[in-house]
Amino acid sequence: MIVLGIDPGLASTGYGVVERENSVYRVLTHGVIRTTPTTPHAERLLEIHDHIRDVLGTFAVQGAAIESWFIHPVSKAAMGMAETRGAIQIAVAAAGVPITEFSPNTIKQAVTGSGRANKDQVRSMIQRITGVTPETDHAADAIAAAICHISSSGLSRAIRQSR
């Protein structure tokens, strides 16, 4: 199974494409899409959309995982996050890839065993699971989202088959 994980943000959107074959997780690509505050807002959203579209066009992605919405204390930042998530979801939907949302705590729990894990613990576990050390927290969170989706989809399949 190949999954695109996404950590959305207007200034920095992390992404990671993870493949699991048997019990081995392999990071096919990862990185951060950085936009510049001086670039017009709509162009920043288009840049994120286009980059995600390109990643989806490069890999045979079967599912996508995105960090779910959380309440942001600054309304301007919350609007940027909401619009970024929309641009990402349009790119994923246009590619015909199903997208699943996971809370930050669920993602941390899936990767570290604790929903309260800090950024260093997530990054360390990503390295232990995949052999890759992400350069940024955004990329680490995106890889973690993909791993969460892959591991939960196996559980969901097992539950369906047991019924």
Residues with a catalytic annotation lie at 7, 67, 138
Q: Where are the alpha helices (DSSP H) in 12-136?
A: 41-58, 75-94, 104-112, 119-130
Q: Using alpha carbons only, give the angle 102, 9, 31 rounded to the nearest 5 degrees.
A: 85
| End-to-end C-alpha distance for the chain, whole angstroms | 23
Half-sphere exposure of 160 (CA within 13 A, CB side): 6
Closest to 88 measured CA to CA, from 109, 68, 108 = 68
Tokens of 75: 């309304």
* DSSP reduced 3-state for 151: helix
CA gap 144, 122 in Å, rounded: 7
26's torsion region: left (phi>0), alpha (psi -120 to 50) or beta?
beta
